[in-house]
C-alpha cells in the first residue's frame, strides 16, 4: 500500500515528465535512479556562479560554443563530466543548478557545484565569491526541507526516495590549486606539510560527507583529485627537464587521494549505516588519457583550445575569444578544464568499466 507521500510523488513526477522538454527523448526504461545530486567545483559547475562577483565564471562566449543550450556557465565548450554521466544513467534532461532549481524539479536532483570551491572555506577567495563544500552541504539541507513539503511531511517516504539517488562529490582540486600552492595569498603551505595538509582536508571532507549521509545520501561517488601538475595552466608556469608536469603538486595530491580511498573503505565498512560509496580514480583516468592522447584521438594534450600565451594557458579563455576550430582534437578546453570530448570519455570509462572505480563501477552503484 503506497503512503500518501508516495502517491503525491507519483503525480508530481508525471507532471514533471510531461512538462520537461526532452522527456519524449528519454530512454524507454527511464533513469536508472530517481535523482542525481552534484557537489563540486568548476569541473562540474553548470551556472551557480553566474550571479556572483567572481573571476570564476563562464557565462560568456565562447564557453558553451558546442552546448545545445549555448552559454550556461559551464566551464567547457560542451558537456561537463556530470552532464555526460547523467545521460549514461538515462536522465532525459540535464540536472539544474541550485541557483534556479525550484519546486517539483528538485525531485530529479540538483547541481550545487561552484567554480573555485574547495573543502576549506577560504579556498578560492583569491578569485572572488563562491560556495564552498560547507555551503553546498547547507544548500542541500535546504533542498531536503523543500522536498519534505513535496512529500507532504512523509519523512519515511523521502528517506526511502533519497536512498535510491546518486550523489557525486568532486572537491579538493582548488584546495591545492587555489590555496596550498598559492603561497602569496594563503599561509597553508607554511602552516602544514603536504602530508599534514592532506590529513586536514580529509578530516574536513569526512565530516562533510558524514553530514550528507545524515541528510539522506546513501549511494555516493567521491572523486580523486586529478593530476593538476599536468594541466596547461601549470605547464605554462613550470619548466623542468625531467618531466613535463609539475610533480611537486602531483605528489601532494597523491597523498590526499590515498587517504580518500581509505575513507571510502571505512564508510563502506560500517562507519556509515547503509552507505555505498564508490571511489572514482580521476587521477588515474586523467593520467591514462594524457599519456595515451593520440590513441584516444587527441592530437593536442598540453594546450588549451581557448586561451592566451604559452600553452594557451597563461591567461584563460577570454570573452568572445576565437577558440580552436577542431575541439575534438584537444584534451583541454582552457587552462584548467577538459573539453566536451574528454568529459564524455571520462564518463564512459567510469560508468561501465571497473578500471577507474572502486569497489564497483557507477553502473553497478546505480543498480544497487
Question: Tens digit of pLDDT for each residue in 49-63?
Answer: 999 999 999 999 999
The pLDDT value given to residue 14 = 40
Cβ neighbours, 10 Å, residue 358 = 16
Residues with Cβ within 8 Å of 302's Cβ and at least 6 positions away in sequence, in order, are: 232, 235, 244, 311
5 by DSSP, 3-state: which?
helix
The pLDDT of 72-83, averaged and rounded, is: 98
> In this structure, is residue 196 part of a structural domain?
yes
Q: Tell me, what DSSP letter sits at residue 310?
A: G
The pLDDT of 230-240, averaged and rounded, is: 86
The pLDDT value given to residue 105 = 95
Residues with Cβ within 8 Å of 86's Cβ and at least 6 positions away in sequence, in order, are: 36, 94, 95
Cβ neighbours, 10 Å, residue 322 = 8
> In this structure, is residue 8 part of a structural domain?
no
Which residues are part of the catalytic machinery? 42, 334, 337
> In this structure, is residue 292 part of a structural domain?
yes
Q: What percent of the chain has pLDDT over 90?
A: 87
The per-residue pLDDT of the chain, averaged, comes to: 92
9, pLDDT greater than 90: no
Total domains present in the chain: 1
Full residue range of the structural domain in which residue 229 is found: 31-367
325, pLDDT greater than 50: yes
Is omega for the bond preceding 30 within 30 degrees of 0, making it cis? Answer: no
> In this structure, is residue 305 part of a structural domain?
yes
The pLDDT value given to residue 240 = 60
Q: What is the CATH number of the domain that holds 167?
A: 3.40.50.1110
The pLDDT of 161-170, averaged and rounded, is: 98
Report helix, strand and coil shares of the chain as percent, to nearest 5: 45, 10, 45
pLDDT, tens only, 122-146? 999 999 999 999 999 999 999 999 9
The pLDDT value given to residue 11 = 42
> In this structure, is residue 25 part of a structural domain?
no
> In this structure, is residue 67 part of a structural domain?
yes
CA distances from 5 to 11, 155, 156, 209, 338 (A): 10, 9, 9, 27, 41
Amino acid at each position: 500500500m503506497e503512503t500518501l507521500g508516495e502517491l503525491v510523488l507519483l503525480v508530481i513526477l508525471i507532471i514533471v515528465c510531461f512538462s520537461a522538454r526532452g522527456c519524449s527523448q528519454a530512454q524507454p526504461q527511464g533513469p536508472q535512479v530517481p535523482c542525481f545530486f552534484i557537489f563540486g567545483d568548476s569541473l562540474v559547475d553548470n551556472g551557480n556562479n553566474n550571479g556572483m562577483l567572481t573571476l570564476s565564471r563562464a557565462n560568456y562566449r565562447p564557453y558553451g560554443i558546442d552546448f545545445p543550450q549555448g552559454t550556461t556557465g559551464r566551464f567547457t565548450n560542451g558537456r561537463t563530466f556530470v552532464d555526460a554521466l547523467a545521460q549514461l544513467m538515462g536522465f532525459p534532461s540535464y540536472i539544474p543548478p541550485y541557483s534556479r532549481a525550484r519546486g517539483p524539479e528538485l525531485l530529479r536532483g540538483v547541481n550545487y557545484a561552484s567554480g573555485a570551491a574547495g573543502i576549506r572555506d577560504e579556498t578560492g577567495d583569491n578569485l572572488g565569491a563562491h560556495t564552498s563544500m560547507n555551503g553546498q552541504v547547507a544548500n542541500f539541507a535546504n533542498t531536503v526541507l523543500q522536498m519534505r513539503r513535496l512529500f507532504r511531511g512523509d519523512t519515511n517516504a523521502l528517506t526511502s526516495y533519497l536512498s535510491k539517488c546518486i550523489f557525486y562529490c568532486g572537491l579538493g582540486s582548488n584546495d591545492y590549486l587555489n590555496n596550498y600552492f598559492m603561497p602569496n595569498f594563503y599561509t597553508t603551505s607554511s602552516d602544514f606539510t603536504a602530508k599534514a595538509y592532506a590529513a586536514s582536508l580529509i578530516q574536513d571532507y569526512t565530516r562533510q560527507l558524514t553530514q550528507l549521509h545524515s541528510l539522506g545520501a546513501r549511494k555516493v561517488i567521491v572523486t580523486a583529485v586529478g593530476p593538476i601538475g599536468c594541466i596547461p595552466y601549470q605547464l605554462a608556469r613550470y619548466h623542468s627537464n625531467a618531466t613535463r608536469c609539475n610533480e611537486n603538486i602531483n605528489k601532494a595530491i597523491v597523498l590526499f587521494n590515498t587517504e580518500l580511498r581509505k575513507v571510502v573503505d571505512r564508510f563502506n565498512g560500517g562507519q556509515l549505516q547503509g552507505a555505498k560509496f564508490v571511489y572514482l580514480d580521476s587521477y588515474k583516468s586523467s593520467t591514462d588519457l594524457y599519456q595515451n592522447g593520440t590513441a584516444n584521438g587527441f592530437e593536442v594534450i598540453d594546450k588549451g583550445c581557448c586561451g592566451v600565451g604559452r600553452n594557451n594557458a597563461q591567461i584563460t579563455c577570454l570573452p568572445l575569444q576565437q577558440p580552436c576550430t577542431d575541439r575534438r582534437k584537444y584534451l583541454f578546453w582552457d587552462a584548467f578544464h577538459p573539453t566536451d570530448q574528454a568529459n564524455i570519455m571520462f564518463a564512459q570509462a567510469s560508468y561501465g568499466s571497473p578500471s577507474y572505480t572502486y569497489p564497483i563501477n557507477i553502473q553497478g552503484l546505480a543498480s544497487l
